[in-house]
């Protein structure tokens, strides 16, 4: 982990850090994630995931996240 990534991680809330860690772990084998499924895995609601994903999208991390689709829930495209 680079120094800038480590510094950026300190500004994340616990929920945001949990989401980021989940995306890092699962992003190696998967590209698209639904908020609902992330929430189920982390014991959060889809709304909580979507609200907290904004900080991850706007931050400088080793994971690139962009809002991708809305059919039957928000889908996020994740690139490591």
Helix 14-26 vs helix 46-58: angle between axes, to the nearest 10 degrees? Answer: 80
CATH code of the domain covering residue 53: 1.10.10.10
pLDDT in tens, 18-66: 999 999 999 989 999 999 999 999 999 999 999 999 999 988 899 999 9
Can you give the pTM of this predicted structure? 0.81
Return the pLDDT at 71. 74
Q: Are 75 and 38 in contact (CB under 8 A)?
A: no
Domain count, the chain: 1
Residue 11 has pLDDT above 70, yes or no: yes
Range of the domain at 75: 3-79
User: pLDDT band for position 10 (50/70/90)?
Assistant: low
């Amino acid at each position: 982990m680079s120094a800038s990534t480590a510094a950026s991680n300190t500004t994340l809330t616990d929920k945001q850090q949990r989401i980021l860690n989940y995306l890092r772990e699962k992003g190696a084998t998967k590209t698209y994630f639904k908020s609902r499924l992330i929430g189920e895995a982390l014991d959060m609601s889809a709304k909580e995931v979507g609200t907290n994903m904004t900080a991850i999208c706007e931050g400088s991390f080793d994971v690139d996240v962009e809002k991708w689709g809305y059919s039957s829930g928000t889908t996020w495209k994740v690139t490591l």
